[in-house]
Structure formats: structure tokens, C-alpha cells
Amino acid sequence: MRIAFDYQTFVNQPYGGISRYFVCLAKGLHDLNNDVRIFAPLHRNNYVEMLPSNVFFGRYISKFPPKTGRIIGLYNKVRSKRKIVAFNPDIVHETYYSRVGTAIESSKTVITVYDMIHEKFPEYFAINDKTSKVKEEAIARADHVIAISESTKADLIEIFGTEPSKIAVVYLGFGAPTKTRDNLDRAKRNDRDYILYVGSRGGYKNFSGFIEAVSQSEKLVSDLDVVAFGGGAFTQLEIAQFRALGFKENQIRNVSGSDELLSQYYSEAKAFIYPSLYEGFGIPPLEAMAHDCPVVSSNTSSMPEVIGDAAEYFSPTDVGSMTRALENVMYSDARIADLQKLGKLRIKEFTWERCAIETLRVYQAVLQDKK
């Protein structure tokens, strides 16, 4: 089968979950003996180096010059369209949302939907953000839609009214950050245990709710630190919350760095917390499981679907529920051992090989409908 991926996510993301997904998917499909091409004439993505040279067409630019976004976008659109026409694919898989597609008349269009955050939490986005409108148009234009969880599929049906028969659910694959014992940094300070949080913290991510939940327990405050990996430095508002809730200086700290450093923090954490109000899928809990780090998670949207029985769950809107869940894990060696065992079993369900095979089946079904 001849499969083309467009340029969009590779222009938008130097790093990131969506571009990593498409690179791993393209490699998996190539390994299944399909003729696969990614067309991103000018891009800034760092994952494409993982691909065989005959899969990716494009030139890497580490940083686009100021005020050239529209020009580069137009160049990519025109140039990649010509390349796709010459390639003559059976399937064009669009890597993000656009009003105008890149497929040719003889090919079918597939698009992946990752979540419905813009639709469910519009208050966290700029009033002039057009992502939701463009997404709806792209979905309507596509021949078929891949949702990365049953939760996302249900949201698509409810919010956009997408026909269920037009949506296939294909779970993401998963590859753990490389384990390392290098002395990259001290994950612990003063030999204190810590709870690990990973990623952006604002809005629906509910980091502030998690901090409040910790503050409600004298035992947790006395015994544990909090490490927030990534997501940028703490804001003045966050620092004010920490102080108002009585945390000591540096008891809650932000660190950032490589996948190898993140691996060390997962490996040494007492537990991993996932307090989000909503997720389309959720890779960090799987990363934690791969490092024998027990998971304490929200019980909403896709989390139970992805994590299965390998977590201690709580309601993210109930601070007391989160506090109790944390204490249930932190002060029970038996529960920690149980979650570690369940986590090792759970991560086996999510491989890039499986993602590629199931995506290929979607393509085959779409082409069958064409006949």
C-alpha cells in the first residue's frame, strides 16, 4: 500500500506527542512492507531522524526566521502537494487539522483525533482560537477518522455528531524513556521521598488541585516532597499557592531535562500522580509503570480505559478523594507492590507494532469502501 503523511505536525513540533506518534506509526507501517512517505519540505522536527532515509522528504531548519510562518506554511502546502501528486498514494493521513486537504482525487483521506479538549474546556483557550472549528471541518472532509481511545470516540459522536461508523479506535503505542543510572541529577534531596508530576500544569491538568490535596494531609506534607518535571518554571500564582498552603521552601520543585533524566525521576519516585480532569489517551502513566513507579490517577475520560486496574483512582474534582488515594499508596508497601505488578502487565497492551497493524487495517477497510 502507498501511504503519505502530510507536513503539518512536523512544522509545528520540534518535539511532542503528535509528531512522535506519526514517526513511530510511519516506521511501523514501513516495517510491514508498505510504501510510506512523509512530505514536510521545510520542517523543525527532531524525531524524523529515527526514520529510514527513503521514508522522509524534507529539510530540517532548527528555527524558522521571525514572521515567516505563513510563507513557510504556504511553501510546504504547495511543495508537498506536488510531491503527493507524484507519489500517487492510496491513503493520505493528515497529521493535524486543516480546512484544505492534501489528498489527491484518487486517494482516500484519514485523520487522527487525539482529544476534545478545545471543545470541552474552551475557557482555557484564547477567544479567537480556531482549532475547534478547523478540526470539525477537517473531520467532516475526511473519509475516515481514527480516535486514540473509546473516550475520544464518544466525545466526537456527542460533540460533533460524527457518525460512529466513520470512527475507528486505535490505541497509541508506547516506548518508555531509556532507563539510566547516570548521575545526571539527584532525584532525591536529603533522602526525602517524593511524588512525581510530569508535563504542563495549567487549567484542566489540575496541578493546583493536586497540591491542595497534598496539603490536606499532615502526614503527606511531613513526609514527602513534590517534583514537577517539565511544564516550565512555576508562575508567581503557583508559588503563592505553595506558600499559602504552608509548604516549605523547595518542598515543591520544578525540574526539566532529557528523557534520560525523566527516567531517573520515574525510577526514584515514591509514586506518580495524574490529576487531570480530561485526557484523550495519556502516555505518562504508562511511562511510570515501565519504571515500576506506582500510579495514582483521576478516574475520568480515557484514564481508566488506558490504565486499567494498574492505578489507585480518585475523583479529580474531590480534593479529599485525591488525598485518600495518595495516602492509600504512600503508606502501604503491599499496595505499592500490587500496582507495580499490575503496571508491568498493563504496558504490554500498548506497542507501536500493534498500533501500525491496526491502523493498516483501517486503511484497508477505507480502500475496500472505495471499491
Give CATH 3.40.50.2000 domain extents, the chain.
2-173+351-370, 193-349
Q: Are 297 and 316 in contact (CB under 8 A)?
A: no
d(CA 76, CA 58) in angstroms, rounded, equals: 9
Instruction: Give the pLDDT confidence score for residue 313 in this predicted structure.
Output: 98
Sign for the CA dihedral angle at 303, 306, 308, 311 comes to negative
The closest of 277, 281, 307, 305 to 294, measured between CA atoms, is 307
Instruction: Give the pLDDT confidence score for residue 85 in this predicted structure.
Output: 92
Q: Are 172 and 284 in contact (CB under 8 A)?
A: no
Using alpha carbons only, give the angle 42, 47, 52 rounded to the nearest 5 degrees.
Answer: 85
Kindly give, in sequence order, each residue whose CB lies less than 8 Å from that of residue 242, ignoring residues fewer than 6 positions away. Answer: 211, 234, 251, 252
- CB-side exposure of 251: number of CA atoms within 13 Å? 18
185 pLDDT more than 90? no
Share of the chain above pLDDT 90, in %: 75
**Strand pairing category for 224-229 and 91-94:** unpaired
Nine-digit cell at 268? 526514584
Fold that domain 2-173+351-370 belongs to in CATH: Rossmann fold (3.40.50)
- Residues facing 108 on adjacent strands: 91
Listing DSSP states for 190-237 in one string gives: TT-EEEEEES--SGGG-HHHHHHHHHT-HHHHHHEEEEEESS-SPPHH
Q: How many residues does the chain have?
A: 371
- Residue 16 backbone class (left: φ over 0; alpha: ψ -120 to 50; beta: rest): left
Kindly give, in sequence order, each residue whose CB lies less than 8 Å from that of residue 248, ignoring residues fewer than 6 positions away. Answer: none
Instruction: Give the pLDDT confidence score for residue 371 in this predicted structure.
Output: 55
pLDDT tens sequence across 240-291: 999 999 999 999 999 988 878 889 999 999 999 999 999 999 999 999 999 9
Task: For 193-349, give the CATH class.
Answer: alpha beta
Instruction: Give the pLDDT confidence score for residue 186 in this predicted structure.
Output: 53
pLDDT tens sequence across 229-249: 999 999 999 999 999 999 999
- Looking at residue 183, its amino acid is N
Using alpha carbons only, give the angle 259, 265, 266 rounded to the nearest 5 degrees.
Answer: 85
183 pLDDT more than 70? no
Instruction: Give the pLDDT confidence score for residue 208 in this predicted structure.
Output: 97
Instruction: Give the pLDDT confidence score for residue 73 in this predicted structure.
Output: 84
Q: Are 326 and 296 in contact (CB under 8 A)?
A: yes
370 pLDDT more than 70? no
User: Which residue's entry shows cell 482529544?
Assistant: 115
* C-alpha dist (Å) from residue 232 to 2, 23, 64, 243, 288: 41, 25, 22, 19, 20
pLDDT tens sequence across 89-101: 999 999 999 988 8
Sign for the CA dihedral angle at 167, 170, 171, 174 comes to negative
141 pLDDT more than 70? yes
Nine-digit cell at 96? 493535524
- CB-side exposure of 169: number of CA atoms within 13 Å? 16
Residue 180 pLDDT grade (very low, low, confident, very high; cuts 50, 70, 90): very low
184 pLDDT more than 60? no
Instruction: Give the pLDDT confidence score for residue 190 in this predicted structure.
Output: 57
What mean pLDDT is reported for the chain? 92
* Residue range 319-339: mean pLDDT, rounded: 97
- Residues facing 194 on adjacent strands: 225
pLDDT tens sequence across 48-88: 888 998 999 989 888 888 888 888 888 888 888 899 999 99
Using alpha carbons only, give the angle 359, 362, 367 rounded to the nearest 5 degrees.
Answer: 130
* Residue range 139-151: mean pLDDT, rounded: 96
